[in-house]
Structure 1
Amino acid sequence: MKIAGVILAGGLARRMGGGDKALLPLGNRTLLDQVIARLAPQVDAVVLNANGDAARFARFGLPVVADSVDGFAGPLAGVLAGLDWAGAHGFDAVLSVAGDTPFFPQDLAARLMAARAGQPIAMAAGPGAPRAARHPTFALWDVSLANALRLALDQGTRKVVQFSDAAGCATCVFEGGDDPFFNVNTPEDLQAAQARAKG
């Protein structure tokens, strides 16, 4: 199976004061550098979902795909952009990850693949009640979902789990250690990530 990794970085970062969270510094690199370093070994290609002028990401050397749905429709729009790119380039599936989550598992793709159990989507979850602890932006999506997702977005669906539950979704629970899905939403989160990166 050929998998395209799609980094979701199309949000508005309101709690960080706007701008591109993925370009914030973490250690001697950026959040995006850290995410790419974790994702690239797990997939056959990496694509960045971001809106606006793609030139600001030029140094990363990645294809940049914008949302095809107007009005910042959330992560589902980014997943659709990734599915459309993957389908046009001969990939079978998309592994979505968040651009503000620099410590996600290095075996994410393998474990989601193993958890699929015939479902078109496999989603990561933390320990505890799997449905309550799901991490919707970390999922493996079959490219065949593109048209159904486009229709759902056109009809107003915005919650990832609303679409994934309807389409068919397996869950893979990641346990132990520090939260691998810790994400940077606030300046305080960035400070915590800096400390964790140093550790």
Structure 2
Amino acid sequence: MKILGVILAGGQARRMGGGDKGLLPLAGKPILSHVLERLEPQVEAVALNANGDATRFAHYGLPVISDSIDGFAGPLAGVLAGLDWAAEQGADAIVTAAADTPFFPCDLLPVLLLAAELEGTNLALAATPDPERGVSRHPTFGLWPVALREDLRLALEGGLRKVVLWTDTHNAADALFPNWDFDPFFNINTPEDLVVAETILREADA
């Protein structure tokens, strides 16, 4: 299988005062750089899903793909943009990661692939144990087959926005990752979260 990576950075970052969360500094470099370092070794190529002026990401040298669904339709719109790009590259699937989540597992793709294979499907979402719900899914981290892109386009054009409502209709597998001393899918939504992320990195280096 030819699998490409897509970093989802199309959100509006309202709780951070707007702008690009991925470009905020974390331990001396943008959060996006941390994400890219983890995703790039796992895939053949990476694109960035972002809206607006693409030149702000020019120094990364990545393809920048914008949503084809208007109105900030959420992560699924970014997934669709990634699937359309991957189809142009002759790829079979994409794996997505969020631009504000700097610590996700370095074996993201292998675990997603294994979960999909075990469930007899080609679609999987990352998940971690949850004492109350059993598992907590992380819908911006998933394995998405190019073959489902037209189905996803129709769903989005019909008004669907919630990731799991669509993935559940296609029997998506849960790819279970262990919790560490912190949630590996911890994402930076607020200035306070950025402080927490700095602390996590300091303790990891200690």
Q: TM-score range, shorter-chain basis? A: over 0.9
> Which consecutive aligned stretches of 4+ in structure 1 deviate over 3 angstroms post-superposition?
129-132
- SS of equivalent residue, structure 2 residue 67: coil
CA–CA distance in 2 between the matches of 1:130 and 1:57?
38
- SS of equivalent residue, structure 1 residue 133: strand
User: Aligned in 2, Cα 1:87/1:131: closer, same or farther, shift over 3 Å?
Assistant: farther
Q: Which residue matches 1:121?
A: 123
Q: Which residue matches 1:150?
A: 153
CA contact (8 A) 1:11 1:74 kept: yes
CA–CA distance in 2 between the matches of 1:50 and 1:176?
29
Q: Which residue matches 1:197?
A: 201
CA contact (8 A) 1:4 1:95 kept: yes
Alignment match of 1:182 (pick from 164, 182, 186): 186
CA contact (8 A) 1:120 1:145 kept: no
Q: Which residue matches 1:139?
A: 142
Runs of at least 5 residues in structure 1 that lack an aligned partner in the other structure: none
CA–CA distance in 1 between the matches of 2:175 and 2:133?
8
Q: Which residue matches 1:107?
A: 107
CA–CA distance in 1 between the matches of 2:128 and 2:46?
24
Q: Does 1:21 align with 2:21?
A: yes
**Residues 43-52 or 113-122, more deviating:** 113-122
Q: Which residue matches 1:93?
A: 93
- SS of equivalent residue, structure 1 residue 163: helix
The two structures, once aligned, show a CA RMSD in angstroms of 1.1
For each residue in 1:104-130, what CA deviation from the matched residue of structure 2 results, as whole angstroms up to 9, or x when unmatched? 000000010011032131111011367
Q: Which residue matches 1:4?
A: 4
TM-score (norm 2): 0.94
- SS of equivalent residue, structure 1 residue 139: strand
- SS of equivalent residue, structure 1 residue 180: coil
Give the drift of 1:132.
4.9
CA contact (8 A) 2:129 2:135 kept: no
TM-score (norm 1): 0.97
- SS of equivalent residue, structure 2 residue 69: coil
CA–CA distance in 1 between the matches of 2:122 and 2:175?
14
After superposition, where does 1:2-81 map in structure 2 within 5 Å? Answer: 2-81=2-81
**Residues 168-177 or 16-25, more deviating:** 168-177
CA–CA distance in 2 between the matches of 1:132 and 1:77?
25
